[in-house]
């Protein structure tokens, strides 16, 4: 086995980050799953329009987080997978899941770089 770092089964050097600036997004929905059994978990889903179906949308917690622990700050990152892809506008899913221990989120602010592109109210599901 080589020493090449692997991300989702693909060598990192064959992936490249694509700018999310101006990429339309839609259908954001976030919820705290508070139904038994414990532990509780948090989820956010949405869609991003990209220029080819080989682009994957990823959500990561923003570093640093803000001063309000009830508001989760997320970075939207678009990653071009290797290969030859048709240049066609496509909606791709974006999703983030997390186990929550002692608190729940009330909203999520999604960023593309320094720009806020979506503010999503979080629903509590009991």
Between CA 111 and CA 27 the distance in angstroms is 16
pLDDT of residue 103: 83
In degrees, rounded to 5, the angle at the alpha carbon of residue 92 between the alpha carbons of residues 91 and 93 is 125
User: Six-digit token pair at 39?
Assistant: 């532990």
Q: What confidence tens digit (pLDDT) does each residue in 5-20 have?
A: 444 555 555 789 999 9
pLDDT of residue 121: 98
DSSP bridge partners of 17: 79
Q: Which residues have CB under 8 Å from 11's CB, separation 6+?
A: 4, 5
pLDDT of residue 78: 98
pLDDT of residue 99: 96
* Residue 117 DSSP class: E
Answer for the pair 40, 104: CB distance below 8 angstroms, yes or no: yes
Stated pTM of the model: 0.85
Mean pLDDT (the chain, rounded): 91
In whole angstroms, what separates CA 28 from the centre of its chain?
11
Proportion of the chain above pLDDT 70, given as a percent: 90
Proportion of the chain above pLDDT 90, given as a percent: 86
Q: What confidence tens digit (pLDDT) does each residue in 87-109 have?
A: 999 999 999 999 998 889 999 99
């Amino acid at each position: 086995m080589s020493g090449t770092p692997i991300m989702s089964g693909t060598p990192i050097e064959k992936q490249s980050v694509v700018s999310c600036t101006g990429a339309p997004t839609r259908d954001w929905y976030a919820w705290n799953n508070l139904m038994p059994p414990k532990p509780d978990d948090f989820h956010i889903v949405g869609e991003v329009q990209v220029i080819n179906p080989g682009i994957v949308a990823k959500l990561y917690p923003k570093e640093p987080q803000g001063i309000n622990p009830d508001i989760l700050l997320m970075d939207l990152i678009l990653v071009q997978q290797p290969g030859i892809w048709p240049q066609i506008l496509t909606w791709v899913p974006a999703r983030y899941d997390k186990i929550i221990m002692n608190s729940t989120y009330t909203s999520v602010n999604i960023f593309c770089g320094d720009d806020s592109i979506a503010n999503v109210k979080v629903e509590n599901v009991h």
